Chains A and B, each alone.
Chain A
Amino acid sequence: MIGKEGSVRLLMGNESVARGAVEAGVGVVIGYPGTPSSEVISTLAPCAEELGIKVEWAVNEKVAFDVAAGAALAGCRCLVTMKSAGLNVAFDSIISVAYGDVNGGLVIYVADDPAVHAGMEEQDSRFFTKVSMLPMIDVFDPQDAKDAVVEAFDYSERFKIPIFVRSTSRVAHMRCGVKFGPVRSSVREVGFQRDIRRFTRASPVWCMEQHTRLNEKVEKMKPHFESSRFNELHMPENNAGVGVIASGVSWNYLHEVVALHNLVELATLRIGTVNPLPEKLIHAFIDKVDRILVLEELEPYVELHVKAMIADAGKNVRVYGKKDGTLRRVGEYNYDVVERALGKLLGTELAERNPELDKIRDEAIKVAPRRPLPFCPGCPHRATYTAMRQALRELGYGEGEAIITGDIGCTILGMHPPFNMCWTEVSMGASIGLACGLRYAGIDKPIIATIGDSTFFHAGIPPTINTAWNDTNIVIAVLDNRITAMTGHQPSPSSGYTATGAETEPIEIERILEASGIKKVRVVDPYDLQHTKEAFIAALKERGPSAVVLRRMCSLVARRRGLLGTPSVVDPERCTACLLCLRTLSCPAMSVSEDGKMVIDPSTCTGCGVCAQICPFDAITAWRQKD
């Protein structure tokens, strides 16, 4: 991040966003981990002190946004980062802050995920601009992302309005050469004048004044966005009335198809400022063409606008896109999708077809074995779900009888075989509310909500209070591995340190559960199967709400810190090749030897000792892992 102006570095989209913020003189960078957005903060955190900026993982996206908005009110430049689902969480505050003014630049970086590389919905966050009015720049590569962040800060400050910079997984995780610009100082004059007519929404008159001003601001920004470098019109002299409009990553694919097929006569328009849209450029474009293709992943956002503008202008331009079925609303685009769509627009087949090769390719895909994501070797969640199942079995509940509502993060992997435990996954913290609802509906079997520590801090506390307040008979299981694991081991409030590594007192979940009104809270080490099973049995026997905290550090973190135990060893004399251990735990450290007996790979085994507790023949020797 600390590179000289003019130097070119190979950067990932998210690293480039981080660099952009540094160049813009950002003072506060804050967010909640979420693939594919997390690398912005993990890139900046290690050099935060050197750069003199505040870098923080917040407990959730709304808190992150509120903190950033507060700093922006005082004149500081702030960047907030989140994945698309996080935008939903932060939006409550975003739409309100949109009504007021910000004094320092406030940029919201949101990364969508077409084709669901990271889990969760294919949300098209561009539509949030319609609800909030807020401006947005949709970026197409890492260089563009950096440039957009730098300029978004300037626009935001000039027009006193928060601005979105939006990317998608393929841009956020793409690497390319990025040219560094000058770095501005993050030291600024700060201050905040009391003005409740601007900074509260406490009167309908004020609120509508603010709403009017918001509309005026966006209107004033229009010409600036219109002529910005984020829109690009290319209208060749010899164009035959055919053009393509592209937004986001599709702009790359379009360039590549144009280069390969030498389509130099094609008119092209890149739209980066998706709100406010560059209407003059679009008019100039639709004036000259009678057939256009709109390339944008997910929803027909640009397409609908362009169609409306064509109708308003009384033109007759045929639009190829989602509405006519040329392209899909689901999944991501690539070179081949764009090549095919361009072929349709041009009325000629561009792609070479080879059905025979495709047939072999289909065969190959069928032969490739599935590779479901397992719990990592030594993962404490494997032990938790194993003990939970033992407890349910002991209470007489068979496979598929008790309902387990799962939550976001590694804990949801309990839905896979051989555990087959989690039934639902909705949103951060939703496991607890869902569990209550299932009980209200009249389900009389055990209902357990499983949730990780970071997810609990994020959105699990209000539903816990709700459960206790209304005395609902469910079990809340908090799988406390002391980290936000799934997104790459960002610290959570239970880790004992912050984003920049500053030590803090770990915030213990049992104290929150108790303070929330849950009377029976049990804390266990899931590596101890017997005690964990007993804790679940006791919790399931309670008549009201109860909770179990499963506390054990993520095994990947333990490995990194050199805290692993001695690898477990199988005694081939005692092993009967029953493979109960493998079928119960499916640990990646396990394999089967030629004579059918269990083998544990010492370089993969973490020494958690759980398999030794499963073996009915005492064939596995384990040494208890260090705490």
Chain B
Amino acid sequence: MIKEYNILIASVGGQGGITLARILSNAAQSQGLKVRVGETLGMAQRGGPVQSHVRFGEDVYGPMIPKGRSDVLLSLEPAEALRVVRYIGKRTTTIMNTSPTLPIPVILNEATYPDPARITSILERIGGRVYSIDAVELAREAGSLRSMNVVMLGAYVSLGEPILTLDTIEESLATSLPSRYLEQNIRALKIGLEKMKELISEA
């Protein structure tokens, strides 16, 4: 029985981070795992930073991941990964979407957006491997920008973490999302999965 496994999802309101957390937690629940999900929902739909903590395992009680103990970070926005470094540690594998969502002060030239290489380097100094994929572009390929979160899900599945199976994740996609988008989302899942396979084999 698994003791503790933590997935952290960092996103900006509207990117589908909360939906992604729901798909993962439903999949875990269907596999009979003890699940805890922690979220702050107050500002989710207004473009603010959103964090979802998806946790499984016998020793998991709290809704939030303890410091440094994320196993996986799925960052749907590059700079948002920096906001959650508290939860990243040596054991953390990061998958980061490289397409930024620029905050208003950055667009107004009142603040600077960090260089992608710097983000990656900071994450690597704190944690384990960092995989960068342009999930927005891949979602476009899959047919809809809205399935960016599912591209990231596909990339996660490729990591080959032995906990959630592709079958249960596909089932969870079917039950967690409206059926009219299912085909589109399965396509996005496969694209993310394949892209990540490539990255892993290159590494």
Contact = CB atoms under 8 A, between A and B. Distances in A.
B191 interface: no
Contacts, number: 151
A175 B48 CA distance: 21
B130 interface: no
Given A361-B85, A370-B111, A582-B107, A175 B35 contact: yes
B35 A371 contact: no
Nearest to A604: B14
A373 interface: yes
B139 to A, nearest CB: 12
Interface in B82-125: 82-83, 85-86, 88-89, 102-108, 110-114, 118-119, 122-123, 125
Contact of B118 (A367, A376, A586, A592): A367
B68 interface: yes
A6 interface: no
A390 to B, nearest CB: 20
B47 A376 contact: yes
Contact of A256 (B59, B88, B119, B122): B59
Given A253-B61, A335-B66, A173 B82 contact: no
Contact of B102 (A336, A361, A591): A591
Given A174-B37, A176-B36, A586-B108, A360 B125 contact: yes
Given A118-B42, A370-B103, A177 B29 contact: yes
Contacts of A583: 108
B114 A369 contact: yes
Contact of B61 (A117, A169, A255, A556): A255
Q: How large is the interface on B (under 10, 10 to 19, 20 to 34, 35 or more residues)?
A: 35 or more
Interface in A346-391: 351, 354, 357, 360-361, 363-365, 367-374, 376
A253 B63 CA distance: 9
Contacts of A607: none
Contacts of A202: none
A335 to B, nearest CB: 4
B86 A176 contact: no
Nearest to A35: B42
Contacts of B26: 10
B197 interface: no
Nearest to B21: A175
B35 A177 contact: yes
B126 A556 contact: no
Nearest to B34: A177
B180 interface: no
Contacts of A339: 66
A259 interface: yes
B128 interface: no
A592 B42 CA distance: 29
A369 B105 contact: yes
A376 B61 CA distance: 36
A363 B122 contact: yes
A376 B47 CA distance: 8
A357 B126 contact: yes
A371 B12 contact: yes
A14 to B, nearest CB: 10
A127 B23 CA distance: 39
Interface string A524-553: 000000000000000000000000000000
Given A367-B82, A369-B113, A374-B104, A175 B36 contact: yes
A363 B107 CA distance: 23
Contact of A253 (B41, B43, B62): B62
B85 A10 contact: no
Contacts of B49: 371
B142 interface: no
A502 interface: no
Contact of B108 (A255, A361, A367, A582): A582
Contacts of A200: none
Nearest to A38: B41
Contacts of A259: 58-59, 61
Interface string B45-86: 111110000000011111110111000000000011011011
Contacts of A249: 62-63
A367 B114 contact: yes
B40 interface: yes
Interface string A414-434: 000110000000000000000
A35 B111 CA distance: 30
Interface in A584-621: 586, 588, 590-592, 603
Given A170-B63, A369-B114, A117 B40 contact: yes
Nearest to A174: B63
Contacts of A376: 45-47
B19 to A, nearest CB: 13
B158 interface: no
A6 to B, nearest CB: 15
Contacts of B35: 10, 175-177
Nearest to B58: A259
Given A170-B64, A255-B61, A369 B108 contact: no
B62 A173 contact: no
Nearest to B89: A357
A176 to B, nearest CB: 5
A131 interface: no
A591 B111 CA distance: 14
Nearest to A603: B145
A334 B102 CA distance: 30
Given A173-B41, A174-B38, A256-B66, A364 B126 contact: yes
A123 interface: no
Contact of B36 (A174, A417, A586): A174
A351 B118 CA distance: 29
Given A361-B88, A373-B47, 18 more contacts: A35-B41, A36-B42, A169-B42, A170-B38, A174-B36, A175-B36, A176-B34, A256-B60, A354-B68, A360-B85, A364-B123, A369-B79, A369-B112, A371-B12, A376-B45, A418-B108, A582-B107, A603-B145
11 contacts: A8-B29, A10-B29, A336-B66, A360-B126, A361-B86, A364-B122, A365-B85, A367-B114, A367-B119, A368-B79, A369-B106
